[in-house]
Structure 1
Amino acid sequence: MDGFEAWTAYLFARPLKDQAWEEQPDEWLDGHARQDTPVAAAERVRHLFGNAGELLRPYADDHVARGLTEIIEGGPLHALSSKQVPTVLRTTTLRSIVTLFAEVFAPRIQVEQLRRPSDLEHVCFMFFDIAPVELGDDTVLDVLEAVLALDSVPCRRAALHGLGHAHLTSPEHAGPIVERWLRTHRDAPQELREYAAAARVGQVM
């Protein structure tokens, strides 16, 4: 298999808890990871996120959650901060996050379990909190607004969570995004509108 296939197999196909498996040779770690570069990492993330519905379809929710967590928590998404990554590649990779939410989180999380969220729901909600992106960045703000526009309560909640944190560094942009959503979504669940009102002034956890 090529580098991308080896990478996705490592992230999403390996058993969740299997010490014996972890001690076996792995094609990604042994054959590709050592030659990785920030540009190659960003390209992989862009391709995965941009085709997330198709590429992640074979994997169960808990495997998808584990793989996505590894990507955004100290993984290849950090490559976007490298000066080696061209602006166009960085921007298109960030915009591919919208497709990830639309094709994976939205259809897979149909019912929220706020008190005991699944691993996938947790990754969705915390995405913009733990992803190594600058929330006040113009492209990231565009991504947040696009995710907020999706017809999915979990995706909207995740975007509002991110916009609430973005308010700390960019209140002049984050606040109006939430305000526009509140004006045009008066029929949204009251609990979500209350969360949006808190996000509008940066009061989110």
Structure 2
Amino acid sequence: MDDYDQYDLRNATFGEFVGFLFDRDVVPIPMQGNGSPKPWYWRAEVAFDSTKVASFYIALFTTPDTVLEDYSPEQLNQGFWAIQSSNLQCAVTKVIWDQTLPFDIRESCVRSMFHLYELLFSKVPLETAADMWWDSIAYDWHCGIRARGKGGEDEQMQDVIFDTLGKILRLPSEECQMAALHGLGHLHHPETSPVIGAYLAQRPEIARDLKEYALAAARFEVL
């Protein structure tokens, strides 16, 4: 990977890890074939310790409002895209499936994402990263890479994600609710329909477009 930038996070502090993710010039994701510069995390080769990175993610998600106050919304959006990106070796989407880590650590990492929505995404408007977060995490069940019927971690992690999305759905922020509905629409958990039904029953004055999106999520028909 001679054309990749090399990073070694094995001895990084939490502050250095946060800077690695967010202290970057913002580069829009290029349209195919337009020759624009690529975001930094598309060309990063990273040496890291999974246990340490998982603990850093939990700390970041639990206290995002204080940790990230020095970064612009554009830097935050790009950083959270890096965290969920399949391009980045130490992305959270890879860490939560790293079976060298005990499942309870990976479960804690997912559950801590509730606080990310509660404390940051509900308050700081980001362009796309908050809405697409659960698409990145839950889409494997939508396309059949993972299936509840296989049991094991496919079922265990699906339940953890479902519980977390349910909590986010109860936040007052409509942006957070939309993100949760997006994730539920891809996760294909068997209890999705009653949870969304209860959500709608508690909000009789809900906007028409949000209601329609919720109903589509209950049918697993969101994009």
Contact preservation (8 Å) 2:22, 2:79: yes
Q: 2:63 is matched with which residue: 47, 51, 58?
A: 51
Q: 1:37 is matched with which residue: 49, 61, 67?
A: 49
Please report the TM-score for the alignment, with normalisation by the length of structure 2. Answer: 0.74
Give the equivalent residue in structure 1 for 2:18. Answer: 8
Unmatched runs of 5 consecutive residues or more in structure 2: 1-10, 28-36, 142-154
Partner amino acid, structure 1, of 2:51: V
In angstroms, what is the RMSD of aligned CA positions? 2.3
**Aligned partner of residue 204 in structure 2, secondary structure:** coil
Change (3 A) 1:58 1:146: same
Give the equivalent residue in structure 2 for 1:156. Answer: 177
Residues 123-162 of structure 1 aligned to structure 2 (within 5 Å) = 123-131=129-137, 137-162=158-183
Higher mean C-alpha displacement, 92-101 vs 71-80: 71-80
Higher helix share: 1
Unmatched runs of 5 consecutive residues or more in structure 1: 23-28, 110-119
Contact preservation (8 Å) 1:72, 1:132: no
Per the TM alignment, residue 147 of structure 1 is displaced from its structure 2 partner at its CA by 0.8
Per the TM alignment, residue 134 of structure 1 is displaced from its structure 2 partner at its CA by 6.2
Partner amino acid, structure 1, of 2:100: Q
Contact preservation (8 Å) 1:163, 1:199: yes
**Aligned partner of residue 59 in structure 1, secondary structure:** coil
**Aligned partner of residue 70 in structure 2, secondary structure:** coil
Q: 2:206 is matched with which residue: 181, 184, 188?
A: 188
Per the TM alignment, residue 98 of structure 1 is displaced from its structure 2 partner at its CA by 0.6
Give the equivalent residue in structure 1 for 2:146. Answer: none
Per the TM alignment, residue 88 of structure 1 is displaced from its structure 2 partner at its CA by 1.9
Equivalenced residue count is: 180
Per-residue displacement from partner, 1:178-202 (whole Å, max 9, x unpaired)? Answer: 1111111212222211111111111
Please report the TM-score for the alignment, with normalisation by the length of structure 1. Answer: 0.80
Give the equivalent residue in structure 2 for 1:94. Answer: 110
